[in-house]
């Protein structure tokens, strides 16, 4: 490690608060256009603009590469490329920041649907008093797909609301089902929650067949990554009432453009990729990076190290 | 008890399913117009139309009165009158049916507000992608006013969502604050939940002074009874932004008429007295009455016996 390491930041607005690193890092900023040129001088790369594909585009070029890359997101699919995966560079992510907010967001969606809050707001706009009977959430069944920290936090919160909840992961282990149980669990679930990382195995996993397996009374919620879902298949499932409804916080192409048909699908709630972003989240992401930097600077092992082949931080 | 007791039902549509009482009770039906005339012949009165004031109007008349009155509601304020309170007649209520549904409903409102779900639905209608930062619910503070089974169920559910929750009741006891702590708790709460029975002490308790004590960032939710709230005071509190918002499921006059200003107050969510009414609730109310009838018929003590002076079922 050099006396004063060079920390390259792929910028997004607002910038991270890195004042506490003054004198301990030479901080250099890059945008998507200048990243490739700046990369060789960096000891550390902070991917603050986690919506950018610039890292995986710039990485394969010439020259030295940073020893450590940290991304201010849970998913790493936008920055990963074969050259980075094959390198000695350590990749870390923002595990720990988004879990509880996303779990609360899923609980908010599930409860709002159970209690028909969208219907209540519509009727209020029309000044119409119309009593309805709504669902009791306790005793219903959820299937949470994705057994990482976000999926586990969602399962924990749903269980706290007395929802019978099954978790499905890549491999079965105690309390977690393997992929071989997925279809059976989907066919019995009142709520299907997608919270898996985007990998080759999960890309497009919610397709026509899987929506067909679900109950006509089931609701589907995606707070993972947009491409987990075949959006055309979901549109068909909603239009043909194979399932009762859905809520998407993530999409294949973000932001959704005004002409997207997804804004108006029957029974679909659309939100703008915000499930994990509670007030102060950027400060928390900045603090998390500074803490990791202090480990790195002191030569201590890093936490939140991503398995670059799998595309997420493995294990409990 | 006569060989075949006469069960008088104050009807509401749909009628209760009392088939299992065939041969064990002579079932007589009444509506608001005929209740006074039928009352003397009744051994038991089932107040199935719990929205009616007919019982307290008919009760003070001439002739014998039923030994037992059961109401298919949690609150008894509509049927109670001094003559009934002073009589030997036992009054029971529907304790046990509404607790968990109402607790879920409150959780749905609180989470929907924290995550700005109404804003998301508005933006979806406009096909506008606008990321916002929302509140983390965990670590916020709630004050639940009303320490009966409904208030306790609400507190239990909010605590399960990691909300720091205080319960306030008529008298302090373990885990429950007395009225002397109310203003201090209101002044620190992010969420104020009204779930008290309607009594002389609670009538109009949420008034200008109490809304003034709350934080400008606080939200107020009423799932108890409409007259707990001075609606003009709430309107002023919302319009002047003394508090951030509110959700009312109950009102002084129900149903709200289309010309009510409450439909359009800033930051107010209006729902039509449905928080406890999950699918199957009427069947559950019917089953509960049949079960109580079997106790009564066998001469066993009744549960859910209301303290007629206090206006609710006392104790834990």
**Inter-chain touch A269–B129, beta carbons under 8 Å:** no
Contact A121/B123, CB-based, under 8 Å? Answer: no
Contacts of B89 (CB under 8 A, 6+ apart): B65, B66, B67, B68, B69
Residue with tokens 């009423």: B222
CA of B109: which chain A residue's CA is closest?
A112
pLDDT (0 to 100) of residue A73: 95
Q: What number of C-beta contacts closer than 8 Å exist between A and B?
A: 146
- Average pLDDT over every residue of A246-256: 97
Question: What ranges do the domains of chain B cover?
Answer: 6-97+280-297, 99-270
Give me the pLDDT at residue A184, please: 98
Q: Which residue of B has its CA nearest to A97?
A: B136
Residue A47 β-bridge partners: A10, A71
Give pLDDT tens digits for A156-193.
Answer: 999 999 999 999 999 999 999 999 999 999 999 999 99
Mean pLDDT of B154-167: 98
Q: Write out chain B residues lying below 8 Å of A260, CB-based.
A: 127
Supply the ipTM of this predicted assembly. 0.92
> What is the distance of C-alpha B208 from the center of its chain?
22
On the question of a common fold for A6-97+280-297 and A99-270, the answer reads yes
The whole-angstrom distance between B236's CA and the closest CA on chain A is 20
Confidence band (pLDDT; 50, 70, 90) for B3? confident
Both tokens of residue A306? 């991503």
- Whether A27 and A48 have beta carbons less than 8 Å apart is answered as no
User: What are the tens digits of pLDDT across the range B132-153?
Assistant: 999 999 999 999 999 999 999 9
Q: Please give the helix or strand (H or E) that residue B26 lies within, else none.
A: strand B26-30
User: How far away is chain B from the Cα of A275, in angstroms, using its nearest Cα?
Assistant: 8
Question: What CA–CA distance (Å, rounded) separates A69 from B135?
Answer: 29
When pLDDT is cut at 50, 70 and 90, the band that residue B213 belongs to is: very high
Instruction: Enumerate the residues of chain B whose CB falls inside 8 A of the CB of residue A101.
Output: 134, 136
Hey, are the CB atoms on A269 and B133 less than 8 Å from each other?
A: no
Interval B64-83: pLDDT, tens = 999 999 999 999 999 999 99
CATH of the domain spanning A99-270: 3.40.50.720
Q: What is the average per-residue pLDDT within A252-274?
A: 97
Chain A residue with minimal CA distance to B123?
A271
Q: At what angle do helices B149-160 and B99-114 cross, to 10 degrees?
A: 40
How would CATH label the architecture of A6-97+280-297?
3-Layer(aba) Sandwich (3.40)
**What digits encode the pLDDT tens for the residues B165-202?**
999 999 999 999 999 999 999 999 999 999 999 999 99
- The dihedrals phi and psi of A260, each to the nearest 5 degrees, come to -65, 135
CB A303 within 8 A of CB A296: no
**pLDDT score of B171:** 93
- Helix axis angle, A99-114 to B99-114, nearest 10°: 130
- Shortest Cα–Cα distance, B132 to chain A (Å): 7
Of B111, B118, B258, the CB nearest to A111: B111
Which run of H or of E encompasses B170? none
pLDDT at residue B316 is higher than 60: no
Residue A137 CA to residue A173 CA, distance in Å, equals: 27
A17 given a catalytic annotation: no
Q: Do B104 and A123 touch (CB under 8 A)?
A: no
pLDDT at A114 over 60: yes
| Phi, psi (rounded to 5 degrees) for B165 | -125, 130
**Banded pLDDT at A1 (limits 50, 70, 90):** low
The length of chain B in residues reads 316
pLDDT at B1: 60
Q: Which residue of chain B comes nearest to A131, CA vs CA?
A: B272
Residue B49 has pLDDT above 90, yes or no: yes
Distance CA A174, CA A151 (A): 15
* CA-based nearest residue to B266, from B239, B291, B300: B239
Of A134, A263, A281, Cβ closest to residue B127: A263
Tokens representing residue B275 in the block:
């928080």
> Stretch B253-280: mean pLDDT, rounded?
97
Residues in chain B closer than 8 A to A134 (CB atoms): 101, 105, 274, 277-279
CA-closest candidate to residue B1, choices B85, B45, B71, B67: B67
pLDDT in the model for residue A306: 96
> Which of the following is catalytic: A83, A254, A291, A294?
A254
With 60 as the cut, is the pLDDT of residue A316 above it?
Answer: no
pLDDT at A304: 96
Query: Which three-class secondary structure string do you get for A251-271?
Result: CCCCCCCCCCHHHHCCCEEEC
Confidence grade of residue A3 (pLDDT, cut at 50, 70, 90) = confident
Q: What does pLDDT average to over chain B?
A: 96
With a cut of 90, say whether residue A200 has pLDDT above it.
yes
Let me know if B225 is a catalytic residue. Answer: yes
């Amino acid at each position: 490690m050099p006396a004063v390491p060079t920390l390259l930041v792929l910028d997004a607005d607002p910038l991270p608060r890195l004042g506490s690193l003054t004198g301990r890092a030479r901080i250099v900023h890059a945008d998507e256009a200048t990243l490739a040129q700046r990369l060789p001088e960096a000891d550390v790369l902070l991917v603050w603009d986690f919506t950018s594909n610039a890292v995986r585009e710039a990485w394969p070029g010439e020259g030295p590469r940073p020893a450590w890359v940290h991304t201010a997101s849970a998913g790493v699919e936008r920055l990963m490329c074969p050259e980075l995966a094959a390198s000695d560079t350590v990749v870390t992510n923002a595990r720990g920041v988004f879990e509880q907010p996303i779990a609360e967001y899923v609980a908010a969606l599930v409860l709002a649907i159970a209690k028909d809050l969208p219907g209540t707001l519509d009727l209020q706009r029309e000044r119409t008093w119309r009593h309805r009977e709504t669902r009791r959430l306790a005793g219903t069944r959820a299937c949470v797909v994705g057994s990482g920290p976000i999926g586990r936090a969602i399962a924990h919160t749903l269980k706290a609301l007395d929802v019978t909840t099954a978790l499905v992961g890549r491999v079965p282990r105690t309390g977690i089902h393997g992929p071989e149980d997925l279809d059976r669990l989907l066919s019995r679930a009142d709520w299907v929650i997608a919270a898996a990382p985007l990998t080759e195995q999960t890309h497009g996993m919610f397709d026509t067949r899987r929506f067909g397996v679900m109950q006509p009374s089931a609701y589907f919620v995606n707070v993972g990554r947009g491409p987990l879902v075949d959006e055309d298949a979901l549109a068909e499932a909603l239009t043909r009432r194979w399932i009762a409804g859905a809520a998407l916080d993530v999409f294949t192409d973000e932001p959704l453009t005004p002409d997207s048909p997804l804004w108006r699908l029957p029974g679909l709630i659309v939100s703008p990729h915000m499930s994990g972003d509670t007030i102060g989240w950027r400060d928390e992401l900045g603090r998390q990076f500074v803490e990791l930097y202090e480990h790195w600077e002191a030569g201590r092992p890093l936490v939140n190290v991503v398995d670059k082949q799998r595309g997420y931080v493995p294990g409990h």
